[in-house]
Amino acid sequence: MFWDYKYLLFVMLPGLLIGLWAQMKLHSAFGKYSQVPVESGLTGAQAARRILDNAGLNDVPVEEVEGQLTDHYDPTKRALFLSSENYNGNSIAAVGVAAHESGHALQHQAAYAMLNLRMALVPITQFASTIYGGILLLGWIMGMMKVMLPIIIVVFAIITLFQLITLPVEYDASSRAKEQLFRLGLVREDERAGVAKVLDAAALTYVAALVGSLLTLLYYISASRSRN
């Protein structure tokens, strides 16, 4: 499959281009609005703390982690982690990203169904991601792709399902973030557009991941049918 022109032309190339486009949009938006301070002067950590406390989530810590755009909410630890730039920064980008991660904490508090489903799928998705490469390589080396294809399809279907569920979770977190930022007066009316551009650009990376997964899954399904 590694030399199959259909895989290269209809899966790898489109997936790569879409992924690069999404990353360019994200870095462009983040780079621009990380240079624009919010009028309130709040840092990302302070904005997140305001949102969490207002929701009664005083026991959810906001911690600093290394790396760039490593921000995330860990539902197993019930803790919010912000990269140093967003933890300490008082830019539109920093506050927007911090609010987005706070949105995941609000989802957790509200028992948001899609987040719960995503959490339930994490172990099996991690397992599927771990064995996927090995199964693909084994089938190729041993010339057993016809036998392995059904297994590969099931494994990649799990990965694709996880990506599909992740998309509404991320968009909902951004929606909650925007609502809280504006409702609590943490950003001004004229700062709304900047927050929206940063969060929308971040969401595009999840769209790109889903498209790439779908293209790969469809390719494997097509390959399986052609071999029967």
Instruction: Establish whether 170 is a catalytic residue.
Output: no
- The closest alpha carbon to 70, from 57, 91, 87, 95, belongs to 87
HSE at residue 3, side-chain half, CA atoms within 13 A, is: 1
Angle, helices 145-183/92-109, rounded to nearest 10 degrees: 110
- CA dist., res. 186 & res. 207, Å (int): 28
The single residue of 85, 101, 170, 191 carrying the catalytic annotation is 101
The neighbouring-strand residues paired with 74 are 79
Tell me the catalytic residues: 101
